Structure 1
Amino acid sequence: MNLERYNRQTILSGFGIEAQQKLQGSRVLVVGAGGLGVPVLTYLNAMGVGTLGIADNDVVSLSNLHRQVLFSEEDVGRSKVGVAIEKLGAQNSETVLIAHNTFVTKENALKIIADYDMVVDASDNFPTRYLINDACVILKKPFVYGALHGFEGQVSVFNHDGGPTYRCLFPNMPKADEIPDCNENGVLGILPGIIGNFQALETVKVLTGVGELLAGKLLLFEGLSNTFQKIRFNATSENLKIDVLRPSYDFDCRTDYNAMDAETFLGLEEFDNVQLIDVRTPKEFEQNHLKIAQNIPLSELNIRRNEINFDRSVYVVCQSGIRSKKAIERLVNSRPDAYFINLSGGMNQIKKHGVTY
């Protein structure tokens, strides 16, 4: 350990060399290398956490740059994990950096998380959060949670030393139509930096035993007024007894609909005659879309539904498959006789086949 490098930390009363040694011997998995993951990784790496694992399977896009400040314009189109490891390695050559070029899924979560002391949830979706929670309960690993919406953020520490879990605070996953979508609602660029730094701080506290943790407490931050609140919550015994992962971590949607993956859709014999409704925003649609798609944004669906031919099969697509589910739920209420197909994974999966325009 380079004592000169960490001198400003080790001279802190109540921290010292012992805490620094604990950081050096620690292994932390950061799930997500986006808005929250970037500040978490940057500071844990700089502060001397010995091993950092990074799990993500996304690439850098231009729209990431206003908040994901580890990346630059020349990184657009490159793997986030690859770029992160390159730049973090230049920042601190002493850190062991481990790439997991994959999204965390039901199939790989237990195997990946088992190799680390704790997890930082820097994901941006509810299925991943519930999956991380359950895997951490099974493996008895603490994890630090962060979430964003607009000008607001949340932070907490779950499953620490028998404390409350994510399910103790949020017992059930919301339905697809109950959640905001970041592509429509947005986030102020600096908010991920603020919340991500709080996550990094809680991670350091978990690893070193310094300070009071946000275990059993949810920190709420509102950026426009710079106000904080803390909500206390208790552990629920059944949530501490999870011993197997659930069969599925997909959204609970009230509407029955047919789903089709990208490969099957692109292989349709009558592909050019398919009625495909793209419910993303006009700006997203302009950036890339399938040439057969008709753009009817989700926000305009009610007033433009007469543009859809319900006598034909209606294929619906968005960026990830969430808004398309919401669109089908809305449409089926007025046309229960119509046949809807949701393109699971949305344009994120279609782009992997190189068929965007």
Structure 2
Amino acid sequence: MSAAADFSADSGDGGAQVLRFTGDLSLARLGDLPSRLERYDGAVASVDLSQVERIDTIGAWVVHRFARERKAEVTGLSGDAQYLLDQVVAADQPVQMRPPSRSSFRRVLGEIGDATAHSARTALGLLDFMGATLIAFGAVIRHPKRFRFNATVQRFEVVGVSALGIIGLMSFLIGIVIAQQGAVQLRQFGAEAFTINLVGRITLRELGVLMTAIMVAGRSGSAFAAQLGTMQLTEEIDAMRTIGVSPMEALVLPRTIAAIVLMPLLGFYSSVIAIIGGGLLCWFALDIPPVAYVARIREVVPITDLFVGLIKAPVFGAIIAIAGCFQGMQVKGDAEQVGLKTTSAVVQAIFMVIVVDAFFAVFFEQIGWI
């Protein structure tokens, strides 16, 4: 067994006081060395550790603390022992218990800057992901056998068929609300008949597709993010890359195609159900029979309104699918990230859908589709 830790003082070259440590400077063999060092009141110019047999972190800390208090130089170590002492010295830094206080203006400005930088990084990542999706789509076109038909059909059911109930109910109620609110306002001018114009045009042109996109983003976009995020955590996506399967072709492309194909159908379905809901309210509240209601719809709603909705729908579907898949692929670390990225996917998709819808409104107004 190695000797217990000890020290002795003598005069070195030039008469300077040197404290020489001997034995084992480890936790098990320190004994009362720390207390004896505290009681030592002699002047010390340097600390010599050349005769130390072994030293651990606790021993290095005891030596460093003593040398720091006496402003003495530590010598005599080499190799791993010197590296250990250097690490202890580097770690001996004051700990700030509270962050420095900043003015409210600087704090808010910093948060705005961080949010802007994060938004810019997300936008660039989303553009990169969109490009990767287009590349995968081109690869599938060149090699049709790589197209995953069964996976795409399954996404058709998840995105479209399973959503018919909730989208139909939502659209029916929205149609009733639009008709009721429009009738209340138009009654003041004796123009209740124009409620039909309001219901027909706003549902086919705007609300049918827009509300469907919001519902699909909350329902399917979140599901895409959660599914891919969970696969990231369980390393299934890494395993797919290892065996030579492209995650973009196997996971992202079927979901994107399903959303693009089904959004026009769901948007048209939503518009028709909303018109039916508005027609029922006009029948019961305004005494407008269904035959007259349908005839009026055919007169006042131009075919361009239907085209506007059908053109916007696949773009909205692509945005929702790409945003959901992108956020799902960004999951790293722990299960909490799945929830955070799922929320980000829904918020990002809805925000971009509304922004793109505003651009479409300006564009169609410029080309005369109003």
Normalised-by-shorter TM-score class: under 0.3
> Which has the bigger relative contact order, CA under 8 A and spacing at least 6?
2
Q: Pick the structure with more strand per residue.
A: 1
What is the TM-score with the length of structure 2 in the denominator? Answer: 0.22
Q: Pick the structure with more helix per residue.
A: 2
Q: Which has the larger radius of gyration?
A: 2
